[in-house]
A and B are shown apart, each in its own frame.
Chain A
Amino acid sequence: MLIAILTDIHGNREALSACLAHARMLHVDRLVFLGDYVGYGADPAWVVDTIRGLVDQGAVALLGNHDAAIDGSDADMNSVAQEAIRWTRNQLGSEQRRFLAGLPLVHEEGNVLYVHANGYAPDNWDYMSGPMEAIRHFSRVDAHITFCGHVHVPMLYHMSTTAKVGTFSPVANNEIPLLPTRTWLAVIGAVGQPRDGVAAANYAVFDTAHQTLRYLRVPYDTAAAASKVRAAGLPEKLALRLEQGR
């Protein structure tokens, strides 16, 4: 079975549409969303409605910190994120808010764990931003494979039988075997706000039969997404980020 894993969409309609079309082309069997549907981008309502529709058809959608901040506190966020969240709150109706508030933090399938930020304390939103953080995750989580987002930059951490942790920066469109002898933490890059200097949207496809993971990059109309951000009066920095992918 092919599972498409998408995360950090952040109200970016153009990027999400492009990734969904790409996943359809690959004939994926299932969709798993790791959260952060809103915040930063100009189309939060459309994105939430789309995800809701997909969940009705069997997709899995988890809660991200930006989704939690809609009805909760935005005190931990930086000023740009705060401004975007406050703008986003006015864009969402009560049903959309209820949908976000009802999302689970984690999803488990056998020894595979899906979560937005990290596996050991999903609601503290710790970032898996380097090998030290990955070690913390590996030492507290039993799952053989963990998929998370939140960092916006794709990365693959792995731990050997002797507890050595390796870091691998994945090349797009390349099958990586997730060997049964190791534990894996796959950070999936952002759909809607890439930050590794490449503007194209990120997502990944997990092949459960062969236990392989394929990181993917999907080019999309960044100019359209950026101009919507500007038209909405959101901070200029958010538009530039989409154009530059950083």
Chain B
Amino acid sequence: MRWRLSPGMVIDGFVLQENLGTGGMAQLWAVSREGEATPLVMKIPMLIDSDDPLPIVCFETEQMIMPRLTGPHVPRFVATGPLDPMPYIVMERIPGESLKERLDDCPLPWPEVVAIGAKVAHALHDLHLQHVIHLDIKPSNVMIRETGEAVLIDYGFARHERLPDLLAEEFREPFGTTPYMAPEQVLQDRADPRSDLFALGVMLYFFLTGERPFGTPRGGQIRRRLWRDPVPPRALAPDCPPWLQEIILRCLEVDPDERYATAAQLALDLENPEQVRLTERAERLERDSGVKTFRRWLKARKAKALEAPNIAGHLSRAPIVLVAIDLSPGGEDLAEALRMMIGRILSIEGEARIACVNILKTSRLAVDILEDEEGRSLHVQRLIQLRHWAASLDIPKERITFSVLEAHDPAAALVDYARHNNVDHIVIGARASSALRRYLGSVSSRVVAEAPCSVTVVRTPTDRRPETGPEASA
């Protein structure tokens, strides 16, 4: 099987157009096929002249996983060919360059780093929801669509929770790109979606400072990241805001439990800097002391991988729950009922992140007066009330956010917020039925109909009673 590929050759109906490059494990060709309007790319693994099984196993892994992926954050799968006459995968060609091209401009201004981070975090969450961990997140594997979404490419090292893990079976050594590999990957645990958050943290650090947090280690040196913490980004990029350092260092935590629970939660922080809870991480300007490092080294000597592939389970334990709180007078009972429901959810889903949202209704026509007589901004007032509502729930600060959305259409605003922030569950109160409500329609029923996720509608105990007022008995 010795193929010399050249432009014009036809493989299974695909016409080779241009060699886009040859990597260590595969050749990439721009191809076209009759009836396909979009540009395509064919990936052909380098199986020739090699005793190394890695290219073939990576190819098999991609061949298994890619056809199952959907959505804007992955290249659209088109076709795959068996070994005979020639192995290949054909997929959508994403126009433009990968983020690797941006490395020449490093360090990048921090707002750009944040924007990249949020895009990749959204893409990762979408991938994790499809039961896949990428395990090789790095600039050359991220492309940005013209429409703005990040696209994750190259699934050669990836792991699908519901398919055999061919790499783990074939090799007894860690896989990935050494500067980006999470500590648990070094220990050969290929089952934790938070490994991708670590790699994203490395990438953001690199873009921000122009340096890799753990250098480019070789051989046994890759274990160093189990105990040696990186130089804090602010020491290298003084204009980096403390909250961004907080986010990046949290991604780079050795213990996955200390990182963000999900990529969606990371995206939420990157897009809401004012909500990031600052810890000692934000203030650090130098690496940990020798004693602290030595303690971690002692611990790391015994570290072993925990194999528990449960991506879906992990994501479902750390949902983002949006609670829509109506703060208008007379709604105290409902606010209390909502609080009880959130308490119940927290007792089951311990890592849940609660997004408290209040809608400040603006009218469509008039210019709104958003300050009351004393000149206090209504917006700020509402935020204070939201915090008061949540105080007794005693949720750790890093797992609760407060937002006041100004909107003329409350239901649409809630649904938009849920969609953009990967919300898993909306909890919303419904007021008792009344003639006015029947006429105007209810926000909760529209949210139920239009939300991209599960919705729980909460009623107060009094509303559950049959109507006994004079109206009902008349």
Interface string of A158-170 (1 = CB under 8 A from B): 1011101111100
Contacts of B84 in A (CB 8 A): 180
CA distance A171 to B313 in the complex (A): 14
Given the known A-B contacts A160-B53, A179-B64, are A166 and B164 also in contact in the complex, defined by CB atoms under 8 Å? Answer: yes
**Nearest Cβ on chain A to B158's Cβ, whole angstroms:** 14
Q: Is the CB of A180 within 8 A of B83?
A: yes
Given the known A-B contacts A162-B170, A164-B170, A181-B82, are A176 and B164 also in contact in the complex, defined by CB atoms under 8 Å? Answer: yes
Q: Is the CB of A160 within 8 A of B162?
A: no
CA distance A160 to B53 in the complex (A): 9
Is residue B67 contacting chain A, with contact meaning CB distance below 8 A? yes
- Interface size bracket, A side: 10 to 19
CB-CB nearest in chain A for B163: A176
Q: Is the CB of A156 within 8 A of B82?
A: no
CB-CB nearest in chain B for A175: B68
Given the known A-B contacts A164-B170, A168-B164, are A180 and B82 also in contact in the complex, defined by CB atoms under 8 Å? Answer: yes
CA distance A167 to B168 in the complex (A): 10
CB-CB nearest in chain A for B61: A179
Interface string of B22-59 (1 = CB under 8 A from A): 00000000000000000000000000000001001101
Contacts of B63 in A (CB 8 A): 177, 179
Interface centre among A174, A180, A181 (most CB of B within 10 A): A181
Q: Is the CB of B83 within 8 A of A164?
A: no
**Nearest Cβ on chain A to B47's Cβ, whole angstroms:** 9
Is residue A182 contacting chain B, with contact meaning CB distance below 8 A? yes
Give the number of residue pairs across the A-B interface with Cβ within 8 Å: 53
CA distance A158 to B169 in the complex (A): 10
CB-CB nearest in chain A for B172: A164
Contacts of A160 in B (CB 8 A): 53, 56-57, 60, 166, 169-170
Interface residues of A in 143-167 (CB under 8 A from B): 156, 158, 160-162, 164-167
Given the known A-B contacts A179-B60, A179-B64, A182-B60, are A161 and B53 also in contact in the complex, defined by CB atoms under 8 Å? Answer: yes
Contacts of B68 in A (CB 8 A): 175
**Nearest Cβ on chain A to B290's Cβ, whole angstroms:** 43
The 8 Å CB contact of A165, one of B161, B165, B169, is B169
CA distance A5 to B169 in the complex (A): 27
Q: Is the CB of B164 within 8 A of A158?
A: yes
CA distance A102 to B163 in the complex (A): 38
Contacts of B67 in A (CB 8 A): 177
CA distance A171 to B169 in the complex (A): 18
CA distance A181 to B1 in the complex (A): 14
CA distance A164 to B166 in the complex (A): 10
CA distance A175 to B168 in the complex (A): 20
The 8 Å CB contact of A174, one of B59, B60, B162, B170, is B162
Is residue B179 contacting chain A, with contact meaning CB distance below 8 A? no
Contacts of A165 in B (CB 8 A): 169
Is residue B87 contacting chain A, with contact meaning CB distance below 8 A? yes
Contacts of A164 in B (CB 8 A): 53, 169-170
**Nearest Cβ on chain A to B227's Cβ, whole angstroms:** 32
Contacts of A179 in B (CB 8 A): 60, 63-64
Interface residues of A in 109-152 (CB under 8 A from B): none
Contacts of B161 in A (CB 8 A): 171
CA distance A179 to B170 in the complex (A): 15
**Nearest Cβ on chain B to A153's Cβ, whole angstroms:** 16
The 8 Å CB contact of A161, one of B56, B64, B162, B165, is B56
